[in-house]
Each structure stands twice: as structure tokens, then as C-alpha cells.
């Protein structure tokens, strides 16, 4: 029995998992942040942050949470940013 109805469908989310860097970039640009500023707010090096946006690395969940917090968003809000 499903007790929780997620705000976005799992199918949509899994379709876009590969594009997390693109989603993060769009969220950053919409906040008018530079990569340097976003990295600093998220507690990441600029290189690590840039690698995430470019899709060179799959971010750990803790980094996804830190990036969403840097943007003042919930993780689900950030991940659904490009899916609406």
C-alpha cells in the first residue's frame, strides 16, 4: 500500500537521472549564482561542483542535498525543476 504520493513520478525522475548536472546548472542559473558561489555555498570545491554540472561525476546524495540547500530548495524541488 502506497502511503506517500511523491510530487513527481518515479518514471520521470529516473528518465532524468543522467541529466542531474543539467538540472543543477539550470537551478544555479535561475538563482543568478556563479559556479564559484554555488560551490562555496554548498561546501564543495569549484572543480567538484563543475564536474557535477558537466556530468563527469555522479554526485553522492549528501552533495545533492548540499547543492539544493545552497539554492534554498528542497531536493525534490530541485530535481523536479527541469521536469515540469
Residues 13-59 have pLDDT tens digits of 444 445 889 899 999 999 999 999 999 999 999 999 999 999 888 88
| Domain membership of residue 68 as a residue range | 10-79
**What is the rounded CA–CA span in Å between residue 69 and residue 53?**
16
| CA 25 to chain centroid | 8
Grid coordinates of 33: 549564482
pLDDT of residue 15: 41
CATH number at 60 reads 1.10.260.40
**What is the value of pTM for the model shown?**
0.75
Predicted confidence (pLDDT) per residue in 57-84, tens digit: 888 999 999 999 999 999 988 887 655 4
Tell me whether residue 25 is in a domain: yes
Question: Number of structural domains, the chain?
Answer: 1
Amino acid at each position: 500500500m502506497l502511503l506517500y504520493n511523491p510530487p513527481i513520478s518515479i518514471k520521470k525522475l529516473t528518465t532524468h537521472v543522467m541529466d542531474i548536472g543539467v538540472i543543477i546548472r539550470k537551478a544555479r542559473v535561475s538563482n543568478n549564482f556563479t559556479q564559484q558561489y554555488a560551490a562555496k555555498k554548498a561546501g564543495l570545491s569549484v572543480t567538484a561542483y563543475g564536474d557535477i554540472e558537466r556530468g563527469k561525476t555522479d554526485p553522492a546524495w549528501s552533495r545533492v542535498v548540499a547543492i539544493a540547500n545552497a539554492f534554498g530548495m528542497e531536493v525534490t524541488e530541485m530535481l523536479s525543476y527541469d521536469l515540469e
